[in-house]
Amino acid sequence: MQLSDSHAHVYSEQFKPDRDDMLLRAFEAGVRTIFMPNIDHTSIDAMLEVEANYPTQCFAQMGLHPCHVTRQFEKELYEVETWLNRRPFAAVGECGIDLYWDKTHLAEQQEALRIQVGLAKKHNLPLVLHTREAFREAADIITAAQDGSLRGVFHCFSGTRAEAEEVIHLGFKLGIGGVATFKNGGLDKVLPGLDLEHLLLETDCPYLAPVPHRGKRNEPAYLPLVARRVAEILGKDVEEVAEATTRNTLALFGEAPTR
Ligand SMILES: [Zn+2]
């Protein structure tokens, strides 16, 4: 089985003790490519170091995570823009709106997302969107900006069937991760009947480990657990799910985006 992890923070501090072993486990599990979304200015060096060490497997993306949008977000976005002008990245992200922890900076989050949508257009890059308790707010911004040129993924999708259809209608993909394996994750009611062409697989590691590792540190080697569960929900062969989602991920982010 060949897989692509479309969303993995493998540069995280949490992997410091065993990063090389962790990545080896991923490659041995069939996860051949790993796409790394950025968080903010503090995560860039570590992310680019992993990419430099694994130039044919791990690919960096550039953006500002909504949970790290504060009143000073313009300084952060200046850094994002500088990097995007400096070298190629696989996507703009992760960006979006997150109202789960804190609603204080909604206006700033909306503005930061609009600016990053503009950067995606300017650099002709896909968007990696993070939305939590804020699907409507984020989808409204994408809808307003969609002129046919925007593409990307709603990562860690865990919304309703209607929201999934809205994402597809917007020309975006659904990023499916460990939530698919959770008993009350709800994706067993959302995914049946959806065409595989709309789906990407992801771990979002070190977060959201799939069952039976739920609650522990997640890593890309667990991606086959997500693939198997998605195949089960769709009533398809796991090989077919792996092949299609890998193809979708590489088509969206580029086979070797940094070269
Ligand atoms: Zn993430």
Grade residue 255 by pLDDT with cuts at 50, 70 and 90: low
Residues 48, 60 contacting (CB under 8 angstroms): yes
What is the Cα–Cα distance from 216 to 221, expressed in whole angstroms? 13
Q: Quote the ligand 1 centre to 224 CA distance (angstroms).
A: 19
Identify the residue whose tokens are 């991606």.
223
DSSP string, 51-90: HHHSTTTEEE-B---GGG--TTHHHHHHHHHHHHHHS--S
C-alpha to C-alpha distance for 196 and 89, rounded to whole angstroms: 26
Distance 120 CA to ligand 1 centre (A): 18
Element (H, E) at 180: none
- Whether 259 shows a pLDDT value over 90: the answer reads no
pLDDT digits (tens, 9 = 90+) for 39-48: 999 999 999 9
Is it the case that residue 64 has pLDDT exceeding 60? yes
Query: How much is the average pLDDT of 188-198?
Result: 97
* Residue 165: pLDDT over 80: yes
| 155 annotated to a ligand binding site | yes
213 marked as binding residue:
no
**Average confidence (pLDDT) over 94-115:** 96
pLDDT tens digits along 202-241: 999 999 999 999 999 999 999 999 999 999 999 999 999 9
Are the C-beta atoms of residues 143 and 120 closer than 8 Å to each other? no
Question: pLDDT tens, 113-150?
Answer: 999 999 999 999 999 999 999 999 999 999 999 999 99
Query: Helices marked H in 134-237 — which ranges?
Result: 135-145, 161-169, 187-190, 223-234
Residue 37 CA, ligand 1 centroid: distance in Å: 6
Cα–ligand 1 centroid distance for 129 (angstroms): 9
Q: pLDDT confidence of 57, banded at 50, 70, 90?
A: very high
Distance CA 119, CA 97 (A): 17
Q: Find out whether 198 is annotated in a ligand binding site.
A: no
Domains annotated on the chain, with CATH? 3-253 (3.20.20.140)
- Determine the distance separating the centroid of ligand 1 and the alpha carbon of 157, expressed in angstroms: 11
Q: Provide the pLDDT for residue 258.
A: 45
| Residue 257 pLDDT | 46
